[in-house]
Chain A
Amino acid sequence: MIPAAFEYTAAASVDEATQALRKYGEDAKVLAGGQSLIPLMRLRLAQPAVLVDIGRISGLDGIRRENGTLVVGALARHAEIQSSGEVRSSLPLLAELATDVGDNQVRNLGTIGGVVAHGDAAGDYNALALMLDAEIVTNKRRHRAADFYKDIFTTALEPDEVVTEVRFPVANGRHAYLKFRRRLFDWAIAGVAVQQTGSGWRVGYVNLGNTPRRGTAVEQALAQGASPADASNQAGSAIDPVDDVRASAVYKRSLAATLTRRALETASAGG
């Protein structure tokens, strides 16, 4: 790995990180687990002048429940989310998503805050945050997930904004996540998450558009009593996949419908 030269500073608190970001402006980047940023720097596709490492800020990795909300600290690593008893009881679907992220190395280092801030449509948590109306809390404000994911790799975050926690509504009803990929540690070619909540089914799509997508039409069809097979025919209206090296858009559309049906069937069978 031969990145371009950069300055490095480790922040001891969110305040320190904020100050550093204000000082260096657009030239600075937050470094959390490094599992998305470092690969870009390796290829010199990202050449930040300053890295502000938030990885050592204590207290940012907590996972706790506040009434009907599961609060996950920005620095919670995938491995922690995967094995957290709190997550498993309050939002087991999140733990399942975490289990499927990358490989052991990635899961031991990568953070939920990094996934959210990176805003990758292929980031599994992003679809979950969107479909469940999660809140993304930063040093400055609270974002509704529905307003957060703007465009490809673009979120509502400003350069001096640091994600501190992600707040999910508790949901432990029937659920399933189907992640279609060719190798165990790969990103999803397409992923479909389904969760039954007090207000009906929620459906989220991973890597099927420039941003994470919510399957509103599928949700509505289900609310009106459609079978999984019929409801899954509505998958297409939520998504906007493109041709890439992994697969054609046509194929991904078919996959989205198949996975939607299977996810709903799996969740329903799961009790």
Chain B
Amino acid sequence: MAITQMIGAHIQRREDPKLITGHGNYIDDMRLTGMLHMSVVRSPFPHARIRTIDVTDAAKSPGVHAVYTARDFKPVLAGGIPAAPAFVPDKKQVPNHYPIAESEACYQGEPVAVVLADDRYLADDAAQLVSIEYDPLPAVTDLDRAIEPGSPTAHEGAPDNIAWDAVFPGGDIDAAMAESEVRLKLRITQQRLFPTAMETRGCVADWVPFGNRVTLWSSTQVPHFLRLFISGALGITEAQMRVVANDVGGGFGAKLRPYPEEYLACAGSRLIGRPVKWIETRTESQQATTHGRGQIYDLEVGALRDGTLVGLRITQLLDAGAYVGVFGSFGGGCYTFKAVHGRSLGILTNRVSTDPYRGAGRPEATHLVERMVDLVAGELGLDPVEVRRKNFIKPEAFPHPNNFGLVYDSGAYEKTLDRALEMVGYGDLRRRQKELREQGRYLGIGLSTWVEICGIGPSAATAPAAGVALVESSAVRVHPTGSVTVSTGTHSHGQGHETTFAQIVADALGVPYEMIDIKHGDTGETPFGYGTYGSRSLAVGGISILKSCQKVVEKAKRLAAHIFEAAEEDVVFDQGRFYVKGSPDNAKVMGEIAFASYGAGLPEGMEQGMEAITYFDPPNFVWPFGAHICVVEVDAETGAVDLQRYIAVDDCGNVINPMIVEGQLHGGIAQGISQALFEEVRYDDDGGQLLTGTFLDYLVPTMAEMPHYELDRTVTPSPTNELGVKGIGEAGTIAASAAVINAVCDALSPLGIKHVEMPARPDRVWSLIQEARS
């Protein structure tokens, strides 16, 4: 198709005026007649038997309409919360996750009772009066100890704490290691993180007894999944349930599973016969919304003395939490390894579950590969740039099947690296580093040359892994006077779909951008869809929309031919105008053809209307890549890391809207830097009590802590889809933590320090320096 005005245009997000002037429509803005407010009483213990629950005082508290426990919910709420198969066919145990604990609480923050009252203050007052007797049980928190034989179990009566133990062989790892001249080992911890969306979770449920219909408004990334699973648990059909996610203030992966409170609000509304609202406080969010990361990697890399990478052995210990969520992938990055061997152990602990968080597996995968490459460079005394160049998959090698058989679509890895090196002034910077070292100052330069799998995903790969084919739907409807309504199964919670999708449609249909309305988030008005995560919305959802547009154009062309009394192949469609070859002056626009399509006198066999639905199943994933460089100086006396420069050259194929791409990079890089230097969920060592339960102790950085980003782009279109697009929503996060930590390690290398765990807190860095010096 002709690339015309809108695709590639640097235009502002059309959703912003509404959102930044306070006219958004978030859950907490909702008020329904007769609505009650729900407060959730949560287990203060990471693991405890629940002996008795006494709700007498709470029930008598002013304004209280009901106090419900598991016993009340059982008759109206069947079954547990689904666990995704988590990319593992051979799962060993999946603990049943009923939305409210009955006899055993398995993480701090697990719901035990709910109070419904006239307002939230009264509900919280009464919640304090629910009296629960607990017998605390040993809490499983340490991953190494959790897998020792005889360890206490996270769930009473379970055989052990292993949720899965899966091996992913990618070549003959023993041969690769045997052939290697150097073999280096490292353990890397990926600390738990709060996903920290600006809007916490929340929902309003309205059960209408006649016809057993329920509407659930929720702050979610996946409205259709919610309807699918929650309707089942409520014993009603999907047709009886509507899920609406209006404006959602961020998700970052933590809003892509159905949560206990959504079930409890629906069932509570049914029991009490009034609408029920629940808004998560920030404290609840930190306790009871899924955390990101939470993994330990035991790694071994094998290489030749000239820097050729040969083998990579990865053992992942994944802290699944008390119930099983989704887990991410790993691989050999943008390098040609002879073999990459992965083993993943999913471990049940008495903590809230982990789930995807921006990047979802790829930041971890990138971090480990990029750290191991630097380890090899350091050991062999080679420049990390040269080790990367030597091992990059070459541009002519695409499509390139990786060690696990996934096919990288396109890439030009040296191109992004060269540009980044030029921007940072690599040669000069290395000289400067040498000078400063002589003065006892510690400048560090860190590289992260990343590649990610996104555009999730092709049914052949996702159906076996996720239980459903993660394709994407769209419906494009041209109204009689030429305006257009587009429904998408993806969900926008900050990504700017209303802008970028409209840009695609404007070009594909040749209709003015202003006449295009993008609808998402309401199961009542969109086809079944799969939501937004895994940088999939454009490469899967956007292409689905393009294909619907093409179907519409095809029909419009047939109709135009009929109107022009010409042969279909003689009709030209050019930027919204239809005309017969050779007479462009006698054209009809899309609106005119659409109008005709709703009238009489259509061609033989053509139905009225101008609309199309598509379920797009992409032939492959897409594989964006790039090169990030971070420059830091470490204060050896205090251990403080001063982030001086951050350069990012990314390649996400063709770009629909450069401004949105930059915005996604800014936010993404910030979150990656933040993991490297600031954020970490901490529990006390034995009790499993959350220590970082406020933003005072959990350090989400601000603009003041972020460096100026120096960004650039190369364009290597994806051959996987017609627009040549990839994804960019997670790229920054995927690349950044490795760049920062590599820089910190590079700074400290004269002291013999080989690795620094995240976050590189000043006290942690200081301790490493002390150890190294003593």
Overall SS of chain B's interface? loop
Could you show 5 A-B contacts with beta carbons less than 8 Å apart?
A: A2-B124, A39-B696, A43-B694, A246-B763, A251-B767
- Contact partner of A251 (CB less than 8 A), chosen from B121, B691, B697, B763, is B763
Assuming A251-B766, A251-B767, A255-B638, is B125 touching A183 (CB within 8 A)?
no
| Cβ contacts B691-705/A at 8 Å (1 or 0 each) | 110101101011011
What are the 4 A-B residue pairs with the smallest beta carbon separation, nearest first?
A184-B704, A247-B763, A251-B763, A258-B637
Assuming A2-B124, A5-B125, A245-B691, is B638 touching A182 (CB within 8 A)?
no
Measured CA separation A2–B252 after assembly (Å): 26
Measured CA separation A255–B763 after assembly (Å): 9
In the bound complex, do residue A4 and residue B678 qualify as a contact, i.e. CB atoms below 8 Å apart? no
Measured CA separation A44–B281 after assembly (Å): 13
User: Is B120 an interface residue when CB atoms closer than 8 A count as contact?
Assistant: yes
| Cβ contacts A167-190/B at 8 Å (1 or 0 each) | 000000000000010111111010
Q: Closest approach, in angstroms, between the C-beta of A239 and any C-beta of chain B?
A: 16
| A109-130 at interface with B (beta carbon < 8 Å) | none
| Cβ contacts A240-271/B at 8 Å (1 or 0 each) | 00000111100100110010000000000000
Q: B residues within 8 A CB of A4?
A: 124-125, 128
Query: Closest residue to B766 on the A side, CB-wise?
Result: A251
User: Is B762 an interface residue when CB atoms closer than 8 A count as contact?
Assistant: yes
| Cβ contacts B238-264/A at 8 Å (1 or 0 each) | 000000000000000000000000000
Q: A residues within 8 A CB of B120?
A: 2
List 9 additional A-B contacts (Cβ < 8 Å) besides A180-B762, A245-B697, A251-B763.
A2-B124, A4-B124, A39-B696, A43-B694, A183-B701, A184-B704, A185-B702, A248-B767, A251-B639
Q: A residues within 8 A CB of B640?
A: 180
Query: Closest residue to B279 on the A side, CB-wise?
Result: A2
Q: B residues within 8 A CB of A258?
A: 637-638
User: Is B400 an interface residue when CB atoms closer than 8 A count as contact?
Assistant: no
Q: B residues within 8 A CB of A5?
A: 121, 125
In the bound complex, do residue A182 and residue B762 qualify as a contact, i.e. CB atoms below 8 Å apart? yes
Q: Closest approach, in angstroms, between the C-beta of B353 and any C-beta of chain A?
A: 23
Q: Closest approach, in angstroms, between the C-beta of A73 and any C-beta of chain B?
A: 28
User: Is B5 an interface residue when CB atoms closer than 8 A count as contact?
Assistant: no
Q: Closest approach, in angstroms, between the C-beta of B294 and any C-beta of chain A?
A: 18
Assuming A5-B125, A184-B702, A258-B638, is B682 touching A245 (CB within 8 A)?
yes
Q: B residues within 8 A CB of A255?
A: 638
Q: Closest approach, in angstroms, between the C-beta of A145 and any C-beta of chain B?
A: 26
In the bound complex, do residue A183 and residue B121 qualify as a contact, i.e. CB atoms below 8 Å apart? no
Q: Closest approach, in angstroms, between the C-beta of A37 and any C-beta of chain B?
A: 15
In the bound complex, do residue A184 and residue B691 qualify as a contact, i.e. CB atoms below 8 Å apart? no
Measured CA separation A5–B126 after assembly (Å): 12
In the bound complex, do residue A180 and residue B704 qualify as a contact, i.e. CB atoms below 8 Å apart? no
Q: Closest approach, in angstroms, between the C-beta of A87 and any C-beta of chain B?
A: 24
- Contact partner of A183 (CB less than 8 A), chosen from B283, B638, B678, B682, is B678
Q: A residues within 8 A CB of B691?
A: 245
Measured CA separation A254–B705 after assembly (Å): 24
How many chain A residues have a CB neighbour from B under 8 Å? Answer: 23
Measured CA separation A4–B16 after assembly (Å): 36
User: Is B441 an interface residue when CB atoms closer than 8 A count as contact?
Assistant: no
Measured CA separation A20–B532 after assembly (Å): 56
Query: Closest residue to A258 on the B side, CB-wise?
Result: B637
In the bound complex, do residue A247 and residue B762 qualify as a contact, i.e. CB atoms below 8 Å apart? yes
Q: A residues within 8 A CB of B637?
A: 254, 258
Q: Closest approach, in angstroms, between the C-beta of B287 and any C-beta of chain A?
A: 12
In the bound complex, do residue B761 and residue A180 qualify as a contact, i.e. CB atoms below 8 Å apart? no
Query: Closest residue to B704 on the A side, CB-wise?
Result: A184
Q: Closest approach, in angstroms, between the C-beta of B393 and any C-beta of chain A?
A: 38
| B273-305 at interface with A (beta carbon < 8 Å) | 281, 283
User: Residues on B close to A: CB < 8 A?
Assistant: 120-121, 124-125, 128, 281, 283, 637-640, 678, 682, 691-692, 694, 696-697, 699, 701-702, 704-705, 761-763, 766-767
| A21-47 at interface with B (beta carbon < 8 Å) | 39, 43-44
Measured CA separation A17–B336 after assembly (Å): 75
In the bound complex, do residue A182 and residue B678 qualify as a contact, i.e. CB atoms below 8 Å apart? yes
Measured CA separation A182–B679 after assembly (Å): 11
- Contact partner of A254 (CB less than 8 A), chosen from B121, B697, B704, B766, is B766
Query: Closest residue to A184 on the B side, CB-wise?
Result: B704
Measured CA separation A172–B723 after assembly (Å): 67
Measured CA separation A247–B283 after assembly (Å): 22
Q: A residues within 8 A CB of B638?
A: 180, 255, 258
Q: A residues within 8 A CB of B767?
A: 248, 251
- Contact partner of B702 (CB less than 8 A), chosen from A183, A187, A247, is A183
In the bound complex, do residue B682 and residue A184 qualify as a contact, i.e. CB atoms below 8 Å apart? no
Query: Closest residue to B693 on the A side, CB-wise?
Result: A43
Most buried by A among B678, B691, B767: B767
In the bound complex, do residue B763 and residue A248 qualify as a contact, i.e. CB atoms below 8 Å apart? yes
Q: Closest approach, in angstroms, between the C-beta of A101 and any C-beta of chain B?
A: 14
Q: B residues within 8 A CB of A2?
A: 120-121, 124, 281
Q: B residues within 8 A CB of A3?
A: 121
In the bound complex, do residue B692 and residue A245 qualify as a contact, i.e. CB atoms below 8 Å apart? yes
Q: Closest approach, in angstroms, between the C-beta of A232 and any C-beta of chain B?
A: 11
Q: Closest approach, in angstroms, between the C-beta of B655 and any C-beta of chain A?
A: 33
Q: B residues within 8 A CB of A44?
A: 124, 128
Measured CA separation A258–B639 after assembly (Å): 11
Assuming A2-B120, A255-B638, is B704 touching A183 (CB within 8 A)?
yes
Q: Closest approach, in angstroms, between the C-beta of A259 and any C-beta of chain B?
A: 8
Measured CA separation A187–B694 after assembly (Å): 14
| Cβ contacts A1-23/B at 8 Å (1 or 0 each) | 01111000000000000000000
Query: Closest residue to B700 on the A side, CB-wise?
Result: A183
Measured CA separation A246–B763 after assembly (Å): 8
Assuming A2-B124, A247-B761, A247-B762, is B705 touching A183 (CB within 8 A)?
yes
Assuming A2-B120, A255-B638, A258-B638, is B763 touching A182 (CB within 8 A)?
no
Q: A residues within 8 A CB of B696?
A: 39, 187
Q: A residues within 8 A CB of B704?
A: 183-185
Q: A residues within 8 A CB of B699?
A: 182-183, 186
Q: Closest approach, in angstroms, between the C-beta of B286 and any C-beta of chain A?
A: 12
Q: Closest approach, in angstroms, between the C-beta of B192 and any C-beta of chain A?
A: 14
Q: B residues within 8 A CB of A254?
A: 637, 766
Q: Closest approach, in angstroms, between the C-beta of B361 and any C-beta of chain A?
A: 27
Measured CA separation A193–B763 after assembly (Å): 21
Measured CA separation A8–B413 after assembly (Å): 64
Q: Closest approach, in angstroms, between the C-beta of A263 and any C-beta of chain B?
A: 13
In the bound complex, do residue B763 and residue A184 qualify as a contact, i.e. CB atoms below 8 Å apart? no
Query: Closest residue to B705 on the A side, CB-wise?
Result: A183
Q: Closest approach, in angstroms, between the C-beta of B87 and any C-beta of chain A?
A: 34
Q: Closest approach, in angstroms, between the C-beta of B288 and any C-beta of chain A?
A: 15
Query: Closest residue to B124 on the A side, CB-wise?
Result: A2
Q: Closest approach, in angstroms, between the C-beta of A237 and any C-beta of chain B?
A: 20
Measured CA separation A180–B694 after assembly (Å): 20
Most buried by B among A182, A184, A187, A248: A182
Query: Closest residue to A2 on the B side, CB-wise?
Result: B124
Q: Closest approach, in angstroms, between the C-beta of A63 and any C-beta of chain B?
A: 28
Q: B residues within 8 A CB of A186?
A: 699
Q: Closest approach, in angstroms, between the C-beta of A53 and any C-beta of chain B?
A: 19
Q: A residues within 8 A CB of B682?
A: 245
Measured CA separation A43–B693 after assembly (Å): 10
Q: B residues within 8 A CB of A245?
A: 682, 691-692, 697
Q: A residues within 8 A CB of B125?
A: 4-5
Measured CA separation A43–B763 after assembly (Å): 29
In the bound complex, do residue A43 and residue B283 qualify as a contact, i.e. CB atoms below 8 Å apart? yes
Q: Closest approach, in angstroms, between the C-beta of B513 and any C-beta of chain A?
A: 38
Most buried by B among A43, A187, A251, A258: A251
Measured CA separation A150–B121 after assembly (Å): 35
Measured CA separation A43–B694 after assembly (Å): 10
Q: A residues within 8 A CB of B692?
A: 245
Q: A residues within 8 A CB of B694?
A: 39, 43
Q: A residues within 8 A CB of B762?
A: 180, 182, 189, 247, 251
Q: Closest approach, in angstroms, between the C-beta of B44 and any C-beta of chain A?
A: 13
